Chains A and B, each alone.
Chain A
Amino acid sequence: MTTAPERTAYPPPGMPPADVVRVRDLAVVVGDKPLLVDVDLTVRRGERVGLIGESGSGKSLTALAIMGLLPEELHPSGSVVVTGQGPAGGERVTSVLEAGEPGLAAMRGRDVAMVFQEPMTALNPTMRVGAQVAEIMTIHGTVADRGAAAARAVDLLDKVGLPDPADAARAYPHQLSGGQRQRVVVAMALANDPALLICDEPTTALDVTVQALVLDLIVRGVQARDAGLLFITHDLAVVASVCERVLVMYGGRVVEAGPVLDVFTRPRHRYTRGLIGASDLDLTRPDGGLYTIQGSVPAAGRFPAGCVFRNRCTHATTTCETVPEWDGPGPEDGFACWHPVVHRG
């Protein structure tokens, strides 16, 4: 019997790169129902961070809160600070929850860009795609004029691998396939060289064969710009191939965080363990069935008090009626579980 290997030190020693987004104690409520509770999240320049969890665990809501795009009836608290490039090459710091609409509009699409899930509906059906890409740049004045924007739009469409980019620029969205449309969306998101790219399940709606190409495009895009990437998905295999660090969300809370390899090979939170077990299709129960997490995600605001996972957890005890403390060196590495998985060698 050997001892468990040391966990990878995180963050790595030395001067860390600048934060592009720093979320602290983010909570979102609708009426008296909590949707997000104490979410801490940091993405630095050049870093690729995954955000995983089942549907309804608060992943997309976290992304919308960072963009300042929460629906009007939701009320956020805490702090969300985005640091991007200012117009004169300096830094522009936006406190998203406090900033007014003009400040947010200046930030969105410039400092932070977002790729949505459905390429079929993410483009305006009545505008040519070239004009839609060019528009992103003219809004923020990152190009000299409309002519330059149109030329750069064609260039961007070429870079995302659309055949005949000049023709594609003149096409309407319905003339392109789903994969092609998602390439256009990626081109739009990268057009202004954002400091942070948020991808909300960008490949879920695509064919498996196209998925890899679009993922590659996203990763190369952020690497070339030394941008941060916040990647939301429930596909663990995608996270493993794209991200360096991962946060696991459940019930509007971050329940575990850490480097991808550690979290996936040695999960500590019972929920993470269940999630990984459920996505491993080679792993079968003694009766031949696949492992699942029993029950389903409760509706927003109906999560149990204490540990949000306890009504579905096979290890839950009365201790779990109190909220588990965060156990770990920092918000980027740790877990919140009273009965964590103990790893032996």
Chain B
Amino acid sequence: MSRLSRGAEALLPPRGRRSRLGVGATLIVGGGIVAVIAILAVISLVWTPFDVGEINAAERLATPSTRHWLGTDKFGRDVVSLLMVGSRTTLLVGLVSVGVAAVVGVPLGILSAMVPKWWGEVVMRANDLLLAFPALLLAIMLTAVHGQGVVTAMIAIGISTIPSFARVVRSGAIGVMKTEYVLAARAAGRRPVAIAARHVLPNVGSLVIVQASVSFAIAVLAEAALSYLGLGAPPGTPSWGRMLQEGQELLFVAPRLELYPGVAIALAVLGFNLLGDGLRDRFDPRLEDRR
């Protein structure tokens, strides 16, 4: 695309969602969903409609009403409040696990692109090995050693997300290493560490942001799965996955107790995926310009 003159480019059909609106619709919708979840999580720190720690036998399994908008669960806890507090767990697990994955995966990807080819291959094969290792198995192992908990879940999800970061960053970094400005930086006597930090990292930044957003969606799903299996949030810590698990026995009595957290998880995953797609659309043209 970038090889064409501006005139020729204007003759080509418009490129998808991005072409009309300045910012893609996917970016707005995805960003909106993520923002709502984040705002609810922040509000839950200071206020929720009801206290989620309080068990109220008198109001067990209440149907939605003006008092409890989405009803109550089998312990009489307000579902809206549970969802709000649960979003905190979701976001925390997502943030920390993606953070762990990025902090390890990004340098690994850059390193594997900068060391001699042979070493890069070794790093990537080790990466493949980790990729082939199921996150769930890792979580079960870590739980067996360290006990059930949010931290264990975060680390397990984080470790299993490292390979995808390393791979995406490596492919981007290999492209950057071939550019003339990196050659020029080397010709100017720049040391490899400085080239990595000042030239490679900023130019794969957009890839990292997109990957973080997509990985966040996967982490949300993984956290829900682990909590559902009892490998994540312990009893007493509200989490969407836990809500699914606790509502399971009442599936035919009160299916809404499965529906609400299920919808919340689906929305969060959708939101982060759309955000990732939107960001990719937003960054892509600039990536092309750099070639």
Chain A residues in the interface with B (C-beta under 8 A) = 67, 69, 72-73, 104-110, 113-114, 116-118, 121-127, 135-136, 139-140, 174, 185, 188
A121-B179, A121-B180 known; A136-B198 Cβ under 8 A? no
CA distance A127 to B184 in the complex (A): 14
> Across the interface, which residues of A come within 8 angstroms of B290, CB to CB?
121, 125
Contact check: which of B180, B194, B199 meets A116 at CB < 8 Å? B180
Interface residue B47 (Cβ < 8 Å from any Cβ of A): no
* Chain B residue at smallest Cβ distance from A185: B184
> Across the interface, which residues of A come within 8 angstroms of B190, CB to CB?
105, 109, 135, 139
Q: Is the CB of A122 within 8 A of B180?
A: yes
CA distance A73 to B291 in the complex (A): 24
Mark interface residues in B189-225 (1 if CB within 8 Å of A CB, else 0): 1110010001100110100000000000000000000
CA distance A236 to B189 in the complex (A): 31
> Across the interface, which residues of B come within 8 angstroms of A113, CB to CB?
187-188
Min Cβ gap B274→A in Å is: 26
Q: Is the CB of B203 within 8 A of A124?
A: yes
Interface residue B289 (Cβ < 8 Å from any Cβ of A): yes
* Chain A residue at smallest Cβ distance from B190: A139
CA distance A174 to B286 in the complex (A): 10
Interface centre among B180, B191, B290 (most CB of A within 10 A): B180
* Chain B residue at smallest Cβ distance from A123: B181
> Across the interface, which residues of B come within 8 angstroms of A135, CB to CB?
188, 190, 198
Mark interface residues in B175-188 (1 if CB within 8 Å of A CB, else 0): 00001110111111
A-B contact pairs, 11 of them (CB 8 A): A105-B191, A109-B187, A109-B190, A121-B290, A121-B291, A123-B184, A125-B181, A125-B290, A139-B189, A140-B189, A188-B184
CA distance A107 to B205 in the complex (A): 31
CA distance A118 to B181 in the complex (A): 9
* Chain A residue at smallest Cβ distance from B203: A126
CA distance A188 to B185 in the complex (A): 10
CA distance A139 to B192 in the complex (A): 12
Min Cβ gap A121→B in Å is: 4
A105-B190, A114-B187, A139-B189 known; A121-B117 Cβ under 8 A? no
Q: Give the B interface residue count (CB, 8 A).
A: 24
Min Cβ gap A187→B in Å is: 12
* Chain A residue at smallest Cβ distance from B115: A72
Q: Is the CB of B180 within 8 A of A110?
A: no
Known: A109-B190, A113-B188, A121-B180. 13 other contacts (CB 8 A): A69-B186, A104-B189, A106-B189, A109-B188, A109-B189, A110-B189, A113-B187, A114-B184, A121-B290, A124-B203, A125-B181, A125-B290, A126-B202
A72-B116, A72-B117, A174-B289 known; A124-B189 Cβ under 8 A? no
Min Cβ gap A126→B in Å is: 4
Interface centre among B179, B188, B190, B205 (most CB of A within 10 A): B188
Contact check: which of A69, A124, A140 meets B187 at CB < 8 Å? A69
> Across the interface, which residues of A come within 8 angstroms of B203, CB to CB?
124-126
CA distance A185 to B180 in the complex (A): 11
> Across the interface, which residues of A come within 8 angstroms of B117, CB to CB?
72-73
Min Cβ gap B106→A in Å is: 15
Interface centre among A105, A121, A139 (most CB of B within 10 A): A121
CA distance A125 to B181 in the complex (A): 9
Min Cβ gap B114→A in Å is: 11
A107-B189, A139-B190, A174-B289 known; A69-B205 Cβ under 8 A? no
Q: Is the CB of A139 within 8 A of B188?
A: yes
CA distance A104 to B202 in the complex (A): 25
> Across the interface, which residues of A come within 8 angstroms of B186, CB to CB?
69, 108
> Across the interface, which residues of B come within 8 angstroms of A72, CB to CB?
116-117
CA distance A43 to B164 in the complex (A): 50
> Across the interface, which residues of B come within 8 angstroms of A116, CB to CB?
180, 183-184, 187
CA distance A105 to B180 in the complex (A): 17
CA distance A104 to B180 in the complex (A): 18
Interface centre among A104, A110, A122, A136 (most CB of B within 10 A): A122
> Across the interface, which residues of A come within 8 angstroms of B116, CB to CB?
72
> Across the interface, which residues of B come within 8 angstroms of A105, CB to CB?
189-191
Q: Is the CB of A127 within 8 A of B202?
A: yes
Interface centre among A107, A117, A125, A136 (most CB of B within 10 A): A125
Contact check: which of A73, A126, A136, A174 meets B188 at CB < 8 Å? A136
Q: Is the CB of A121 within 8 A of B181?
A: yes
Would you list the 7 A-B pairs with minimal beta carbon distance, nearest first? A109-B188, A126-B202, A109-B189, A108-B189, A114-B187, A121-B180, A122-B180
